[in-house]
Chains A and B, each alone.
Chain A
Amino acid sequence: MKLTRSLLLASALAALTLGSVAAQARDLTVVSWGGNYQDAQREIYFKPFSEVLGKPVLDESWDGGVGVLQSKVKAGAPNWDAVQVETEELALGCADGIYEKIDWAKLGGKDKFIDSAVSDCGVGAIVWSTAIAYDGDKLKDGPKSWADFWDVTKFPGKRGLRKGPKYTLEFALQADGVAPADVYKVLGTPEGVDRAFKKLDELKPNIVWWEAGAQPLQLISSGEVAMSTAYNGRISGINRSEKKNFKVVWPGSIYAVDSWVILKGAENAAAAMDFIAFTSKPENQAKLPAKIAYGLPNKEAAAAVPAELQGELPTTPANMEGAIPLNGDFWIDNSEELTKRFNAWLGQ
């Protein structure tokens, strides 16, 4: 029986070690989108806040997906506290009850922020755009609109689009002559969806689909595509770091707000709320555009951005002209069905 006893002892010991590891307090864990955006955040938010807090701030990156957060909260005691999410994930998770409610008093009130940055479950962190991008050195007289993007005789070459119905259908309708302001009205009808897919049929043979934000830059650089949709922050980033002359076509672009949320039941929920308040202070937030070209949801912070950086930001009035906000409500209702249809269309 000696063996039995030692085995029992060993398993008890193992259980003890595992238990003590789990019981150890975890430091505040902040999750964002990675890449040079997170590098910038680390410098202006994570490190200074860790000094304020007097404890380390851990940061991790993720690729989005409400299912990921869903499963963490469901499992109990999520290992993330504050997470940066996109419009849809904010609305979906808020409806599913997986986020803590935001204490707006700590943030100085809702009226300090632009409307699309305010929600019960999240606080806007950045405003970013998806727009047409092309290499200004290769195309002297570049595209001006979505109709140009669809015109492969005037601008020969392939086109890059983000794989998925979100953005793609909105852009297709604009190429078909729908005014930016009416896009979601048309897309809300079955005929509108058919119209968008029909317009996409025209361009289908010339489309290269991308998934990760760095891909369109590579596609444009290598000449694999003549123009592509891309995130505006990435475009300014590559122009600065690699001295490229990539252009952004602002009219017809779609801007969206990314928000900070706190996972329900997170161990450091209180510290996470303080962290979000820290990142939302105008003097802290105003440091971001110098590192990466995203717009700021705090109105005072946006006003404090130096003039020479304003031209690159989606929130600058001249760039807002003809641009539309992403309709989160439309996509949380229709994302599953339209993605199914999009995937079926893609595979045909």
Chain B
Amino acid sequence: MSAGGKYRRHVAAALMLMPLVIFLGLFFVWPIVSMLSEAVSDPVVVKTLPSTTEAARRWDHASPAVPIMGQALVDDIRATTDDQAMGDVVRRLNSAKSGFRTLMMKTLSAARGSTGPLDLTTVDPRWQDNGYWEAIAAASGSRYTDRNLLAALDYTRNPQGQIEALPPSASNNADIFKRTFVISGLVTLMCIAIGYPFAMLAASVTGWKRQLLLGAVLLPLWTSLLVRTAAWIILLQDQGLINSLLQALHLTSGPLPLLFNRMGVVIAMTHVLLPFMVLPIFSVLIGIPGNLMPAAQSLGASKLRAFWHVLLPLSLRGVASGALLVFMSAIGYYITPALVGGPRDQMISAVIAFYSLNTANWGMAGALGIILLAATLALYAVYHRLTNDRPVKV
């Protein structure tokens, strides 16, 4: 083939890949990059309050700040016409020190409603508190910050710039991260314990029986997540079906606490995620020749031994991909723990949702997302090592 023809085929191949590349770029790379930059960039105060930023460098952090920074702030406010940029400044400052919202609302209207010098302490006596100025100074240090990433792991920087741990009563993200992985791990184990025998059964029968078994797994998958979770609330509550049945059979004297605790979360999440375990295992199992087990038994192996040495190693790939699917889906769960869990069963997504939906603190939401992504990638690397080190023997 001529060089030109080869080149043309390369271009054609590259063009056919374009939709995939564009898709990955738009929906995978771009969100992650913007999340990362949201988490570490802190430009709003530097950009919107330039003279205040300048003045903050001259302040010694001990003397009253108003004579040094006050008029600069007023000038910056009067120079800004962009309400949204000012809104970003207010949100950023209030997140560092509570009270900035109402303080800035008063100050904005006072500064815009007047000209010339303005004494901020007469606008609001709170400006005499250097704590507010300290927050402005900290926010105008640089365009980049590690405070979100530190806060996501329960650390902060003190005014001297040293990293110190936040008390557990103020922040417990590390605990919630740990809990997220523990719950996801438990759910994965439960899914293997229930899903493996189920997939074996479904693979061993044929015709309508197989259809029925697979239908039983797939049907819930087509139902809304909320409906399935609500159904579990009805089943698990104190006066629910399960507790009523147990008491009617005199197995328990009072209702078992099944709802609003870890038990409820694991049960409901296992049910929701079970299809993602059953289907990969099933698809591997039906690909295994049916005569291998009888062959092993004809060579004298007991059923259990034949399973342990033949079927299980062969189907391990299905288990591994199922476990990965379930675990990865589980760590992002939010609605199910919120509805059937207790306060100690909330997972990290709930915290991320709080920052992104309620307080519009994209920096914190991004930082938590990055920690979650990093932890997940690390776990995936471990998984990759494990599955590669133990090649499947046939």
Q: Which residues of A contact B (CB under 8 A)?
A: 1, 3-4, 7, 65-68, 70-71, 73-74, 91-92, 95-98, 163, 208-209, 211, 218, 222-224, 264, 329, 332-341, 343-348
Contact = CB atoms under 8 A, between A and B. Distances in A.
B390 to A, nearest CB: 37
Nearest to B154: A344
B83 interface: yes
A340 B260 contact: no
Contacts of B343: 163, 209, 346-347
Contact of A66 (B15, B238, B358): B358
Given A208-B260, A343-B354, A4 B12 contact: yes
A224 B239 contact: yes
A67 B172 contact: no
A98 B98 contact: no
B376 interface: no
Contact of A211 (B88, B99, B338, B356): B338
A120 to B, nearest CB: 10
B246 interface: no
B258 to A, nearest CB: 11
B117 interface: no
Contacts of B169: 341, 344-345, 348
A11 to B, nearest CB: 8
B191 interface: no
A208 B257 CA distance: 12
Contacts of B101: 91-92, 95, 329, 332-333
Contacts of A334: 98-99
Contacts of A338: 98
B100 interface: yes
A92 B94 CA distance: 11
B121 interface: no
Contacts of B90: 95-96
B194 interface: no
B199 to A, nearest CB: 36
B2 to A, nearest CB: 14
Given A95-B104, A344-B171, 4 more contacts: A67-B359, A222-B238, A339-B354, A343-B346
A138 to B, nearest CB: 12
Contacts of A73: 84
Nearest to A65: B357
B170 interface: yes
A333 B100 contact: yes
Contacts of A224: 237-239, 259
B84 A3 contact: no
A336 B84 contact: no
Contacts, number: 114
Interface in B87-130: 87-88, 90-91, 94-95, 98-102, 104-105
Interface in B320-348: 338-339, 342-344, 346
A227 B358 CA distance: 27
Given A65-B358, A96-B90, A344-B168, A4 B84 contact: no
Given A222-B238, A224-B237, A224-B239, A333 B99 contact: yes
A66 B356 CA distance: 9
Contacts of A345: 169
Interface centre among B84, B339, B359, B360, by most chain A C-beta atoms within 10 angstroms, is B360
Contacts of A211: 338-339
B140 interface: no
A343 B239 CA distance: 29
Nearest to B240: A222
Q: How large is the interface on B (under 10, 10 to 19, 20 to 34, 35 or more residues)?
A: 35 or more
Nearest to B260: A208
B359 A348 contact: no
A348 B172 contact: yes
Contacts of A68: 357
Interface string B350-394: 010010111111000000000000000000000000000000000
B86 interface: yes
Nearest to B13: A3
Contact of B238 (A7, A163, A223, A348): A223
Nearest to B169: A344
B146 interface: no
Contacts of A222: 237-240
Given A67-B357, A341-B170, A96 B239 contact: no
Q: Which 7 A-B pairs have the closest CB atoms?
A: A97-B83, A96-B87, A65-B357, A67-B360, A346-B343, A332-B101, A70-B360
B357 A97 contact: no
12 contacts: A7-B18, A67-B356, A68-B357, A218-B233, A222-B238, A333-B100, A336-B95, A337-B98, A339-B359, A341-B170, A344-B170, A348-B168
Contact of A340 (B105, B171, B259): B171
B175 interface: yes
A96 B358 contact: no
B87 A97 contact: yes
Nearest to A67: B360
Given A335-B359, A347-B175, A97 B84 contact: yes
B170 A340 contact: yes
Interface string B1-39: 000000010011001101000000000000000000000
Contact of A98 (B87, B171, B176): B87
A218 B238 CA distance: 12
Nearest to A344: B172
Interface in B41-93: 82-84, 86-88, 90-91
Contacts of B359: 66-67, 335-336, 339
B361 A336 contact: yes
Nearest to B8: A1
A192 B339 CA distance: 30
A347 B173 CA distance: 10
A35 to B, nearest CB: 14
A340 B364 CA distance: 12
Nearest to A221: B239
Contact of B344 (A71, A74, A347): A347
A282 B175 CA distance: 53
B6 to A, nearest CB: 14
Contacts of B338: 211
